[in-house]
């Protein structure tokens, strides 16, 4: 028998209790509810599981893999949390998945950009894209992420 109480007529009745606490899962659900668009989640930097997704479009090509490693190592050295999408998938599939997951920034390593010494930097919240020189992208992302952490 569980806990009981006496009602106003003196009859014993079961006591039913509930408990609400502010837990991590509820907090994250609230963040997702407030920060999303038609493509998926748009994580704020402060709670994002990863702050940057690096997306090499041809990860099997040596040049692409080398630049990817260079960027990831640079970001990690700056204390930036990075995930690499090096799956062997079509670019459109990777873009859709990364938008769905909603990491704040995406760095896309494409054939044309690499040929020109640039990568594409996308801000997930605004959708803005810009080409950034490979040797400047780590500093630019570090500046953006660190400013958003404040």
What pTM did the predictor assign?
0.82
- Dihedral sign, CA of 53, 148, 150, 36? negative
Q: How far apart are the first and last CA of the chain?
A: 52
Give tens-digit pLDDT for 98-142.
Answer: 999 999 999 999 999 999 999 999 999 999 999 999 999 999 999
Please, which residues bridge with residue 129 across strands? Answer: 122
Say whether 49 sits in a helix, a strand or coil.
coil
Instruction: Give the number of other Cβ atoms within 10 Å of residue 7's Cβ.
Output: 9
Per-residue pLDDT at 16 exceeds 90: no
């Amino acid at each position: 028998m569980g806990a009981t109480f006496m009602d106003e007529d003196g009859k014993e009745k079961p006591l039913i209790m509930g408990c609400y606490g502010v837990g991590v899962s509820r907090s994250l659900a609230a963040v997702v509810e407030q920060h999303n668009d038609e493509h998926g989640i748009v994580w704020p930097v402060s709670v994002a599981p990863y702050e940057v997704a690096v997306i090499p479009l041809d990860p099997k090509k040596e040049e692409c893999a080398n630049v990817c490693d260079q960027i990831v190592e640079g970001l990690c050295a700056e204390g930036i949390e990075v995930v690499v999408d090096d799956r062997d998938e079509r670019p459109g599939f990777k873009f859709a998945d990364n938008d769905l997951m909603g990491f704040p920034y995406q760095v896309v390593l494409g054939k044309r950009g690499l040929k020109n010494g640039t990568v594409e930097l996308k801000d997930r919240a605004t959708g803005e894209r810009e080409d950034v020189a490979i040797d400047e992208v780590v500093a630019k992302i570090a500046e953006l992420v660190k400013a958003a952490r404040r």
